[in-house]
């Protein structure tokens, strides 16, 4: 109930010079505690020309018209009142002085209502004033709290109780104000309509913890048991404070993640989940969940929760770490290098946690790092042995991935020691094994014949490449007994290498082909021949075998580019060539170069005196026995 009103004072006054008129003044409303009393101030006026000898008055309850037989509260003529007011009402004012103030005591709730005054000047000079006062019977003090209480700003809370009983005056005290501030009692104050109130003020600076605090005011009347209490809950407005949030979250890729943000504020905050400035979810609530289904590595990062209302804002962050196996490593660096150069190769990957990175070559660890996303392999001076396939392997507890890469080392040709020439019966085959990168061009030079044959001449040279090795085979026919010098030359853009190929005797290859059984047979034949020759020499009539006459032409070297005129055609069959190829263990069909002497070189053919069948067989037998 509001005690402080701004209704204007209304006085009806009769002026003799102006004739006057009927009128009255009283408060439109008044209140009092149950069990106490109340004095309703009242003044009235009438025309001066009436000049009554005696002025009487009547107070009615809830109705101003006598014909309605309203309950009589007080009547000056007869003192007859309604039973509800017997012993409870009396007139405090002097009607002759136009004062109609009424006192009501032992107030009970049923006495609350409208009170009207009727002036009785005798005869027909009776008048019921339309002005009236509404009595409110209360049992709680009135605590007035400002419409807005903001944390951190000083506020004033007042407790007001009516003080319109001349017999009893209330005393005020605060309840539950500990920690808020000390009260200030202003005392008894008069309201605009002539009523009185007792006021006590409480000044304090509220905090967010004071929100919802129950603050009370007590009105007590000395020398009585009457006590009345009233309470008000403080509605303290304050900005949000985030009070609940996930700590850093770790989740395996593909799993479900739920992030929680809770804030304390009044009024409720607007909660917003964001990532990199993008709003993911928002709602006005005390708490808000952000659900992430089947998280991926792309969702790894920092998530922010913003809480705001009209009084301020707060924010918090949570880190989401998505754990996943390494991605396929990427290799950046030099893949082709020249021998002697420095090579730097970078292998990198992405994973969480960081992986163990290792670079292998032929199961040998060349470099490794632990819990790093990059691995640098430094080869300060590459050699041909560094050429080949490498592996970069990334591994953590969630999986393993690998990438292969090839390093190509370019270098000048190297002719390997297994290069040589070998004789098999009447055929000489020269093997030149070259290691180089890029692939070299290979040529065979016969200095004694002033002939050079390169690998492009497919009918004479067979070449095959395997990795960094190039194997070229030159086949010479008819030179098993007097093989020529052969020089192998290999060339690429980094240099040239030459080597005179060492010769391995034809008898060794021949005996390797004949085998153990053949050796026994040959040895028996050798003994028989020796015996036969010995006997014929004793007879002194044995001549040298005509099979070894000087009538045959020895072979001479020629090729498609360097053919000597008049040379005979090939005379060996393909069957013998196939057996020779099998003897050398060659793959495919290597070409051959036919060698023979020209007719002009007949004088250069060796005579039988220098090389006989007996000596040849003896040499073969000696080698086989060894």
In a domain, 106, yes or no: yes
**Span 256-309, pLDDT tens digits:** 999 999 999 999 999 999 999 999 999 999 999 999 999 999 999 999 999 999
Joined together, the tokens standing for residue 2 give 């509001």
Q: How confident is the model at residue 620, as a pLDDT?
A: 36
**What is d(CA 221, CA 226) in angstroms, rounded to the nearest whole number?**
6
Confirm whether 423 is domain-assigned. yes
- The per-residue pLDDT for 159 is 93
**Are residues 191 and 126 located together in one domain of the fold?**
no
Which of 385, 411, 437 marks a domain boundary? 411
Domain harbouring 67, CATH code: 2.60.40.10
Tell me if the pTM is above 0.85: no
Q: Are residues 404 and 436 in the same domain?
A: no
The CA distance from 127 to 137, in Å, is: 28
602 is a domain residue: no
Give the domain-ending residue among 471, 504, 537: 504
Q: Are 168 and 212 in contact (CB under 8 A)?
A: no
Which residue segment(s) compose the domain that 384 sits in? 330-411
- 111 and 188 inside one domain: no
Compute the average pLDDT of residues 5-32: 60
Check pLDDT > 70 for residue 559.
Answer: no
Query: Do 380 and 437 have their domain in common?
Result: no
Average pLDDT over residues 575-591: 39
Asked if the model's pLDDT at residue 310 lies above 70, the reply is yes
**Interatomic CA distance for residues 322 and 280, integer angstroms:** 18
Query: Is residue 474 a contact partner of residue 489, using CB atoms and an 8 Å limit?
Result: no
- 467 or 323, which is more confident: 323
Would 472 be classed as within a structural domain?
yes
CA dist 455 to 102, 463, 486, 495, 618, Å?
142, 7, 14, 18, 39
Q: Is 128 in the same domain as 151?
A: no
Q: What is the 3-state secondary structure (H, E, C) of 217-251?
A: EEEECCCCCCEEEEEEECCEEEEEEEEEECCCEEE
31 and 115 assigned to the same domain: yes
The total number of structural domains in the chain stands at 5
Q: Which structure tokens are listed for 27?
A: 């408060």
Whether 345 shows a pLDDT value over 70: the answer reads yes
pLDDT per position as a tens digit, 477-516: 765 566 788 999 999 999 999 999 998 864 444 444 454 5
Instruction: Give the C-alpha separation, 425 to 379, whole Å.
Output: 50
Look at residue 481 in the predicted model and tell me its pLDDT: 60
In angstroms, the CA 542 to CA 24 distance is 188
Mean pLDDT of 146-150: 94
pLDDT computed for residue 187 by the predictor: 76
Residue 476's pLDDT band, with cuts at 50, 70 and 90, is confident
Is 577 within the bounds of a domain?
Answer: no
Using CA atoms, how far apart are residues 38 and 74, in angstroms rounded to an integer? 14
Percent of the chain with pLDDT over 70: 77
Report whether pLDDT(530) > 80: no
Question: In the 8-state DSSP scheme, what is residue 417?
Answer: T
Does 153 reside within a domain?
yes
pLDDT at 285: 95
Report, in this order, helix, strand and coil percent for the chain, each rounded to 5.
15, 45, 40
Is 522 within 8 Å of 616 (Cβ atoms)?
no
Place of tokens 């040895």: 523
Looking at the fold, whether 186 and 226 belong to one and the same domain comes out as yes
Residues 116 and 60 sit within 8 Å (Cβ to Cβ): yes
Which of 102, 137, 172 delimits the end of a domain? 137
Question: Are 406 and 360 found together in one domain?
Answer: yes
132 and 29 share one domain: yes
Q: Mark whether 226 and 261 lie in a shared domain.
A: no
> Parallel, antiparallel, or unpaired for β 257-266 and 236-245?
antiparallel
Residues 404 and 338 in one domain: yes
Claim to verify: residue 371 and residue 296 sit in the same structural domain: no
Question: What's the pLDDT band for 180 if we cut at 50, 70, 90?
Answer: confident
> Does 565 fall in a domain?
no
């Amino acid at each position: 109930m509001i005690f402080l009103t701004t209704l204007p004072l209304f006085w009806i006054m009769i002026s003799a010079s102006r004739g006057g008129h009927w009128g009255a003044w009283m408060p439109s409303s008044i209140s009092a505690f149950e069990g106490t009393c109340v004095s309703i101030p009242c003044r009235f006026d009438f025309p001066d020309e009436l000049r009554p000898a005696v002025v009487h008055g009547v107070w009615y309850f809830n109705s101003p018209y006598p014909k309605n037989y309203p309950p009589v509260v007080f009547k000056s003529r007869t003192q007859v009142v309604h039973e509800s007011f017997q012993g409870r009402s009396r007139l405090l004012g002097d009607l002759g002085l136009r004062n109609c103030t009424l006192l009501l005591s032992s107030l009970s709730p049923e006495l609350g209502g409208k009170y009207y005054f009727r002036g009785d000047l005798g005869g027909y000079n009776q008048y019921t004033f339309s002005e009236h006062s509404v009595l409110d019977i209360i049992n709680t003090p009135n605590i007035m709290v400002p419409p807005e209480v903001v944390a951190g700003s000083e506020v004033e809370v007042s407790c007001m109780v009516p003080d319109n009983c001349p017999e009893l005056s209330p005393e005020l005290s605060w309840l539950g104000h500990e920690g808020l501030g000390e009260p200030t009692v202003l005392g008894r104050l008069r309201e605009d309509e002539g009523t009185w109130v007792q006021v006590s003020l409480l000044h304090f600076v509220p905090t967010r913890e004071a929100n919802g605090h129950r603050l009370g005011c007590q009105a007590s009347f000395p020398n009585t048991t009457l006590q009345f209490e009233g309470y008000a809950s403080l509605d303290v407005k304050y900005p949000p404070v985030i009070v609940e949030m996930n700590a850093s979250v770790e989740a395996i890729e593909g799993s479900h993640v739920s992030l929680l943000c809770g804030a304390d504020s009044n009024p409720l905050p607007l909660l917003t989940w964001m990532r990199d400035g993008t709003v993911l979810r928002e709602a006005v609530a005390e708490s808000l969940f952000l659900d992430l289904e089947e998280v991926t590595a792309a969702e790894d990062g920092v998530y922010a929760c913003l809480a705001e209302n009209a009084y301020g804002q707060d924010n918090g962050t949570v880190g989401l770490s998505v754990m996943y196996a390494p991605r396929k490593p990427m290799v950046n660096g030099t893949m082709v290098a020249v021998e002697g150069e420095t090579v730097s190769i970078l292998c990198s990957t992405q994973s969480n946690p960081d992986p163990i990175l290792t670079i292998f070559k032929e199961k040998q660890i060349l470099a490794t790092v632990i819990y790093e996303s990059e691995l640098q392999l430094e080869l300060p001076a590459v050699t041909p042995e560094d050429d080949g396939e490498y592996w970069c392997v990334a591994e953590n507890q969630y999986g393993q991935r690998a990438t292969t890469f090839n390093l190509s080392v370019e270098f000048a040709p190297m002719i390997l020691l297994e290069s040589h020439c070998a004789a098999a019966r009447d055929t000489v085959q020269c093997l030149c094994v070259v290691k180089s990168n890029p692939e070299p061009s290979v040529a065979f030079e016969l200095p004694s014949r002033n002939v050079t044959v390169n690998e492009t001449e497919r009918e004479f040279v067979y070449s095959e490449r395997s990795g960094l090795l190039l194997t070229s085979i030159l086949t010479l026919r008819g030179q098993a007994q007097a093989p020529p010098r052969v020089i192998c030359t290999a060339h690429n853009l980094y240099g040239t290498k030459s080597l005179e190929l060492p010769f391995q005797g034809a008898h060794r290859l021949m005996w390797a082909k004949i085998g153990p059984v053949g050796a026994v047979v040959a040895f028996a034949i050798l003994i028989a021949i020796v015996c036969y020759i010995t006997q014929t020499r004793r007879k002194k009539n044995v001549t040298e075998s005509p099979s070894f006459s000087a009538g045959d032409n020895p072979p001479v070297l020629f090729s498609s580019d360097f053919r000597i005129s008049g040379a005979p055609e090939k005379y060996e069959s393909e069957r013998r060539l196939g057996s020779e190829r099998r003897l050398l263990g060659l793959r495919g069909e290597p070409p051959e170069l036919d060698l023979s002497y020209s007719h002009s070189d007949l004088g250069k053919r060796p005579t039988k005196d220098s090389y006989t069948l007996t000596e040849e067989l003896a040499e073969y037998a000696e080698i086989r026995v060894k």
